[in-house]
Structure 1
């Protein structure tokens, strides 16, 4: 895969497993919003089922990859979103990370493997939305559904900042308000 000129946004999940469909739901909203206000030049949107090989193929050599996934901690606060921007060689120590994901290998294990294989994006931003239900069925639970719009807006802000920083975006866009955060991990509850 050749290096991408723009950002890649990857929505991980399964729309037939309730809240595990949060990533694809955010991607669908970004596609809808992009029809009215285009995303920065070179931005691509992809759905992924969480397979490590497919995920690495989507983000390899990207200047920035934004990944959206649901996770299911033991005591969830459905709809709460965590933002994680790891340093190039930093990973949180989560010995049971796999049990928080509905995928065979979780995102952290995939990132470890990608680093060993030299298949990482230059910069990674992960949004993890706490879910309540991941059984068979369609439709997000109400708290997770309420998190989708603010999360899509936040990702648009990230993409715009990346484009402005790299000089890739030369087209005028509507004002996208937001604050810059230097912290490696943040979380927020949606209204």
Structure 2
């Protein structure tokens, strides 16, 4: 079983999927047969993980054309259609292709669930999740945990600290640290520097 967060944490709400998997690991203990993956923007490099998954739970920022922070759960054959319907970034087309390739090779998960969140802001390099999307992360996490339990996974609240070397995301990019150490928008332009955009 694979739980996959895809997206780029350096581009505001684009990092939603990765932040969900990060929070799941920080707050819950899962059996060894559940693999948590920060898929980033790896695209086709994720194929072996998808092919090996009997069940696949995906978290991602998806442009559904809804109000920011709105969650939508999509299942099974509908998932590739939503990942490619309205592309926001290169990772979505790449991951849609991963699913198609897995199906073509005959090694496609029996169950696929996508928990997607409508982003508010993507064009903020170095930014973090917007408040409305960060609030939606809590509900997305609850939906993901419930789905895992429905699949028979023993999900328990974390009782022991997570060793740093087991963290699904790099310690330097962990959300609390990332938000605490990044410069504010006035100190570090995050939408493009006028000196180079003329």
TM-score clears 0.5 = yes
Q: How does 1:68-107 map to 2 (within 5 A)?
A: 68-73=59-64, 75-87=65-77, 97=85, 99-103=87-91, 105-107=93-95
Query: Which protein is bigger by CA-based radius of gyration?
Result: 2
SS of aligned partner of 1:69: strand
- Structure 2: any 5+ residue segments left out of the alignment? 158-198
User: 1:161 Cα deviation (Å)?
Assistant: 1.3
Normalized against structure 1, the TM-score is what?
Answer: 0.70
- Mapped to 1, the partners of 2:114 and 2:84 lie a distance apart of 18
- The answer to whether the aligner puts 1:33 opposite 2:22 as a matched pair is no
Q: TM-score, normalised by structure 2?
A: 0.68
Q: 2:151 aligns with which of 159, 162, 171?
A: 162
Residue 132 (structure 1) aligned with residue 139 (structure 2): no
Q: Once superposed, what is the RMSD of the aligned Cα atoms? A: 2.6
Aligned residues: 156
Q: Give the SS at the match of 1:152.
A: helix
Is the CA contact 1:13–1:49 (under 8 Å) kept in the aligned structure 2? Answer: yes
Deviation of the 1:140 alpha carbon: 0.4
SS at match of 1:78: coil
Q: Secondary structure at the match of 2:145?
A: helix
Q: Conserved in 2, the CA contact under 8 Å of 1:9 and 1:43?
A: yes
Match of 2:6 in 1: 12
